[in-house]
Amino acid sequence: MLNDLPSQAEDKILALMAQFRADPRDDKIDLGVGVYRNAHGHTPIMRAVKSAETILLETQETKSYVALAGDPAFTRAMADLVLGDVVAQNRIAAAATPGGTGAVRLAFDLVRMANPDARVFVPGPTWPNHLSILDYLGMPTVTYRYFDSTTCEVDVAGLLEDMGDLRAGDAVLLHGCCHNPTGANLALTDWQAVIDIITTKGALPIIDIAYQGFGDGLDDDAAATRLVASSCPETLIAASCSKNFGIYRERTGLLMAVSNDASSCDLAQGNLAYLNRQTYSFPPDHGARLVTMILEDETLRADWQAELANMRAGMLSLRQQLASELRTLSNSDRFDFLAGHRGMFSRLGASPEQVARMREDHGIYMVGDSRINIAGLNTDTVPVLARAMIDAGV
């Protein structure tokens, strides 16, 4: 039977990683892998996480299961971080998940259970795994215009026009901040126009917020998500702790379902617990426990926020440096968008051929659509990338 399984295409980023490892050049640069790295190319364990783990090691008395939907304290802490006080707690159903990916998958499952005919509108482009999961689930998708490859900014007019095709019962996938893969974000005023269309059409927003704190700050990065959740009768929010807490391998995420009223909230909570039971039963707790401890402890939270602010400032500085280098080398402002983008990623606007040339001639590895991980750079490699881009004719 196993011989009859279909062949699966290799993940493009994993394939790129293998190419990078096989490259013998000492000066090669990896801008493909989507994890945060400091100036030394290392993904550190954050200080507050280390402190919380030490406390947990000394005080934890059991490794027994928590609840099907995870520890309620984790839900409360994350709901406060993401939503603040804009939504009443009795409207929020939630389930802890293995990472943000698990939360995204749970959101799509919940939509499919509620409306098997739902179409999911997805931005063009979006994180490839969004489309892979939707395809696996057999859920129909509609791509709405998002990124203008000429201006390297959001195509607001095209986005709003395409969302005009929404029907009642459809779902709309939105990136809460730090859009992956482009780094281009909607302005808050444009978010209101999106909300108006979604509510008028009777669609359901699904927000993937994986980089809160990596853009302009924890509250600023959550502003759009809070606006949607407080304006729409229902919202699904898939939150990840991998990046802003640096706990990638702990697989810590949460799906929140903001319902119209307490009765609908109870129904959503029951279905979230059911879906967890069918997939992995009880969710992992170690990462969620650390996040809860950090968010609930004033000292740990202050230290975490200070380190996160330094990480964010470092990425913003690299963006400014790259835009400045390219302005000098190109004698134009056509790359200034890089300073305005937010988060770990940006699309450079290079063709696949230009991407290949930068890899072959300069040992610079990025995804074929020219998405780069800003955190893969440092002050010494920014000029190298800038020169390679000009040499390749970007």
Give, in degrees to the nearest 5, the angle at Cα 323 between 321 and 325.
65
Q: Which of 291, 234, 233 minimizes the C-alpha distance to 257?
A: 234
List 143's β-bridge partners, or say none: 122
Q: Which of 262, 258, 245, 287 minimizes the C-alpha distance to 102?
A: 287
Maximal C-alpha separation, the chain: 63
Is there a catalytic annotation at residue 243? yes
DSSP 54: H
Q: Give the separation between CA 345 and CA 380, rounded to whole angstroms.
A: 19
DSSP 196-247: HHHHHHT-EEEEEE--TTSSS-HHHHHHHHHHHHHHSS-EEEEEE-TTTS--
Q: How far does the chain reach from its first CA to its final CA, in angstroms? A: 49
Is there a catalytic annotation at residue 148? no
Is there a catalytic annotation at residue 208? yes
Q: Give the separation between CA 157 and CA 224, rounded to whole angstroms.
A: 18
- Strand, coil or helix: what is 96? strand
Q: Give the separation between CA 258 and CA 247, rounded to whole angstroms.
A: 26
Q: Which of 127, 229, 304, 339 is catalytic?
A: 127
Q: Which of 94, 210, 224, 323 is catalytic?
A: 210
Q: Give the separation between CA 324 and CA 320, rounded to whole angstroms.
A: 6
- Strand, coil or helix: what is 380? coil
Written as six digits, the tokens of 74 are 């984790």
Q: Which of 208, 221, 285, 303 is catalytic?
A: 208
Q: Which of 93, 109, 243, 369 is catalytic?
A: 243
Four-residue CA torsion sign, 371, 373, 376, 380: positive
Alpha carbon of 268 to those of 70, 192, 233: distances in Å? 15, 26, 14
Residues 322-335 as b/e (b if ≥16 CB within 10 A, e otherwise) read: bbbbbbeeeeeeeb
How many angstroms from the chain centroid is the CA of residue 259?
A: 23
Is there a catalytic annotation at residue 304? no
Q: Which residues are catalytic?
A: 127, 208, 210, 243
